[in-house]
Chains A and B, each alone.
Chain A
Amino acid sequence: MKKRNLTRTITLVSAILLGFTAGGIFLFFSGYSPLRALEKLFLGIFGRPRYVIWVMVRAVPLVLTGLSVAVAYKAGLFNIGAEGQFIIGALVAALVGYHVRLPMVLHIPFVFLCSMIGGAVFGGIAGILKARYGIQEVISTILLNWIALYSNNFLLKFPGIKRPDSEASFQVRETAQIDLFARFKTSDSWIPFQMENPAIADALKASLSMGVFVAILAAIIVHYLLKRTTLGYQIRAVGFNENASRYQGIPVNWIKSGSLAISGALAGLGGSLHVLGVTKEVSRLAIMEGFGFDGISVALIGASNPLGILLSSFFFSGIRYGAVSVQRDLGTPTEIINITIGTIVFFVAIPYLFERIMLAIKKRKEQKNAN
């Protein structure tokens, strides 16, 4: 077990280094200085307190879609549908956030709940198709993603849903918004506060929302679910060995559908947090936004482990956010980020390569000692 973790860590660290190297090589050949780009990237993430907060805010949807992909992955299923479940969760949040009137303490949890149900139903459809009809979740979730996208665009055409003269829905009511300090920042005490605590004030300029804390809580709950509950045990057992689980009396089909439903609920919650915390509305989608697809990479880099996912989504969101200031200051092409991420994921896929290298190093050492 220890050895596996060591290999995993070495793989991950090397993969990240190799990813940046690949990005650097591409930058070098297009005439940019890789080191300056790296410096800018670092400053773009950590240069100001508010950058760090922005990176965290932007990591929130990725934590949830990452967890979503991870739960399904633990059950041996590949949920490409986090994208669609996220869209449904966001749509539901925008609708319930505007059309339902409740006091804040009830409104926010109610929106979360509705989005999770929406996502769970959408993920559950793929689950039932898999369990009842044997349709591969890879196909059904790809198709469901498009159905979600077009449903979103279709509904956004109707009066009552669509805000007049816009391509978007109505904004969610104040009782459903989850920004922190929004009122404080418009109050009279804000200006003196800024004078006295410049660092904290700078951090607060980013729209920090409850989403960050909900995301961390979700990661803890998923960890608890997978490691400490019967359901979690059954999910992992099914993913590990389906036949053995069946002999043991685990209802394999139910566990599979259930894990896709949980997976959908998590992605749906991600959509909800994104709407209530950042966008406040949903708009017409010309293309997929990619939160779900990025969630796949986040889960992979984070080894499908909730803590790992928290870190990898911060990392992911950080390089995407930092890249913007690299591009602004140096004019580097943004595609470098995809090349970097692709290279990292590629090397994360092959721990065996690093095992071999470690073995070779060890052998050489032994030979030296023997001589």
Chain B
Amino acid sequence: MLIDIGFILGTMFMYATPLLYTALGGAISENSGVVNIGLEGMMTIGAFSAATTSYFLQNPWIGFIFGGFAGALLGLVHAVACVSYRADNVVSGIAINFLGPGIALFLARHFFGGTTHTKILDLDKKMPRPFDGVFEQNSFFDLILNQYATMFIALFLVFVVHFVFYYTRVGLRLRSVGEKPTAARTVGIRVVLYRYGAVIVSGFFAGLGGSSLSIAIVSHFWHPLISGQGFIALAAMIFGKWKPIPTMFACLMFGFSQGIAVFLGRVIPATYTELVSMIPYALTLIVLVLFVRRSRAPSALGGQVDE
């Protein structure tokens, strides 16, 4: 019984990790007033870049950071459109979702001899697991805590972003830019600069989210790796009312229901596999209905500013 709970919680942390990075990225962008529906594309390019650099340089950390930068680059593209050229944020995001996978698969073919997936990393060249071997194998604590380093970094970043948002000048200004850009500008805040920064950082985070999939949870990149996780992260962020810590709980809840689904998948007959796979999505919807009353987005979300 205890082992089962450990298994479910461990699976929860594993599934939540890429969502945590990406949803935090979403929160950063949207708190500055720019809708970022392109998270999916940014994750994809991040996942590809991380897997590729890790493979060629044989170092997951460089790959991880590189995945972030690749996401940031797409973030920059999104920022140019949304901040400088008054793009409809949603439309630009949709474009990013075409460009990310398009470029990733194109480059994959280029680097890996015509196939659209990257080569599999050796086990010791993947993200390390800091608690590997500390606990007895498959014991309760081992199942929960023996996670990739990326998971712990993600949780740490939640609190970093929370701190920056609510306890620093930069965070206050960022949120003011997302709430009332005209007022922010009146007091001398450089709205455009803040928005550019936020969207680029958001891409960086989404890139890390993709990396945490391709070089930790699995060991290579291939086309359906991301399939919809960027959108789920977006949902988690809205569920978390655009705030870092509630967003973390939303991601963990989604991970938890995945954990339950994976656990049930092992014990019930195969006929019901699809019903079990549906659990995370259905449960999220039910929780939304039961617990979330109207959540308020940053007021200037999706709006434009004149410089």
Are both chains from one complex?
yes
Interface residues of A (CB under 8 A from B): 26, 30, 78, 80, 129, 133-136, 138-140, 142-147, 150-151, 153-154, 157, 287-288, 296-297, 300, 333, 335-339, 341-346, 348-350, 352-353, 356
Q: Which residues of A contact B278 (CB under 8 A)?
A: 146-147, 150-151, 154
Determine if B161 is an interface residue (Cβ-Cβ < 8 Å).
no
Determine if B85 is an interface residue (Cβ-Cβ < 8 Å).
yes
In the complex formed, the residue of B with least CB distance to A337 is B102
Q: How far is the CA of A139 from the CA of B106 in the complex (A)?
A: 30
Our pick among B85, B224, B234 for the contact of A287 (Cβ within 8 Å) is B224
Q: Which residues of B contact A288 (CB under 8 A)?
A: 227-228
Q: Is the CB of B275 within 8 A of A350?
A: no
Known pairs A146-B278, A147-B278, A335-B106; A134 contacts B293 (CB<8 A): yes
Q: How far is the CB of B306 from chain A (nearest CB, A)?
A: 11
Enumerate the 5 nearest inter-chain pairs by beta-carbon distance, A residue then B residue, closest first: A342-B98, A338-B102, A346-B95, A134-B294, A154-B274
Known pairs A133-B289, A140-B288, A147-B278; A349 contacts B92 (CB<8 A): yes
Q: Is the CB of B99 within 8 A of A343?
A: yes
Q: How far is the CB of A316 from chain B (nearest CB, A)?
A: 12
B276-303 vs A, Cβ < 8 Å mask (1 yes, 0 no): 0110011011001100111100000000
Q: How far is the CB of A70 from chain B (nearest CB, A)?
A: 13
Q: Is the CB of B235 within 8 A of A142?
A: yes
Q: Is the CB of B99 within 8 A of A342?
A: yes
Q: Is the CB of A335 within 8 A of B87?
A: no
20 extra interface residue pairs, beta carbon distance < 8 Å, beyond A342-B99, A345-B94, A349-B92: A136-B238, A139-B235, A139-B239, A140-B285, A145-B228, A150-B277, A153-B274, A154-B272, A154-B275, A288-B228, A300-B91, A333-B109, A338-B98, A339-B98, A339-B102, A339-B106, A348-B91, A348-B95, A350-B85, A352-B86
Q: Is the CB of A150 within 8 A of B285?
A: no
Q: Which residues of B contact A352 (CB under 8 A)?
A: 85-87
**Counting chain B CB atoms within 10 Å of each CB, which of A134, A143, A336, A353 scores highest?**
A143
Q: How far is the CA of A78 from the CA of B106 in the complex (A)?
A: 29
Q: Which residues of B contact A80 (CB under 8 A)?
A: 231
Known pairs A136-B238, A140-B288, A143-B284; A346 contacts B99 (CB<8 A): yes
Q: How far is the CA of A300 from the CA of B293 in the complex (A)?
A: 31
Interface residues of B (CB under 8 A from A): 37, 77, 81, 85-88, 90-92, 94-99, 101-103, 105-106, 109-110, 116, 224, 227-228, 231-232, 234-235, 238-239, 271-272, 274-275, 277-278, 281-282, 284-285, 288-289, 292-295
Our pick among A133, A134, A138 for the contact of B234 (Cβ within 8 Å) is A138
Our pick among A30, A138, A150, A349 for the contact of B274 (Cβ within 8 Å) is A150
Q: Which residues of A contact B274 (CB under 8 A)?
A: 150-151, 153-154, 157
In the complex formed, the residue of A with least CB distance to B80 is A350
Q: Is the CB of B110 within 8 A of A30?
A: yes
Q: How far is the CB of B194 from chain A (nearest CB, A)?
A: 20
Q: How far is the CA of A140 from the CA of B287 in the complex (A)?
A: 11
Our pick among B94, B109, B110, B292 for the contact of A300 (Cβ within 8 Å) is B94
Q: How far is the CA of A338 from the CA of B272 in the complex (A)?
A: 35
In the complex formed, the residue of A with least CB distance to B88 is A349
Q: Which residues of A contact B103 (CB under 8 A)?
A: 335, 339
Q: How far is the CA of A297 from the CA of B96 in the complex (A)?
A: 12
Q: How far is the CA of A143 from the CA of B277 in the complex (A)?
A: 12
Our pick among B37, B231, B281 for the contact of A147 (Cβ within 8 Å) is B281
Q: Which residues of A contact B271 (CB under 8 A)?
A: 157
Q: Is the CB of B95 within 8 A of A342?
A: yes
Q: How far is the CB of A343 from chain B (nearest CB, A)?
A: 7
Q: How far is the CA of A292 from the CA of B292 in the complex (A)?
A: 27
Q: Which residues of B contact A144 (CB under 8 A)?
A: 281, 285
Q: How far is the CA of A29 from the CA of B71 in the complex (A)?
A: 22
Q: Which residues of B contact A150 (CB under 8 A)?
A: 274-275, 277-278, 281
Q: How far is the CA of A153 from the CA of B274 in the complex (A)?
A: 7
Known pairs A147-B278, A297-B98, A339-B99; A142 contacts B106 (CB<8 A): no
Q: Which residues of B contact A30 (CB under 8 A)?
A: 106, 110
Q: Which residues of A contact B102 (CB under 8 A)?
A: 335-339, 341-342
Q: Is the CB of A134 within 8 A of B295?
A: yes
Q: Is the CB of B275 within 8 A of A139?
A: no
Q: How far is the CB of B260 from chain A (nearest CB, A)?
A: 15
Q: Which residues of B contact A350 (CB under 8 A)?
A: 81, 85-87, 92
Q: Which residues of B contact A133 (CB under 8 A)?
A: 288-289, 292-293
Q: How far is the CA of A353 from the CA of B88 in the complex (A)?
A: 12
Q: Which residues of A contact B85 (CB under 8 A)?
A: 350, 352-353, 356
Q: How far is the CA of A309 from the CA of B94 in the complex (A)?
A: 17
Q: How far is the CA of A132 from the CA of B293 in the complex (A)?
A: 10
In the complex formed, the residue of B with least CB distance to A347 is B95
Q: Which residues of A contact B282 (CB under 8 A)?
A: 143, 147
Q: Is the CB of B289 within 8 A of A345?
A: no
Q: How far is the CB of A288 from chain B (nearest CB, A)?
A: 7
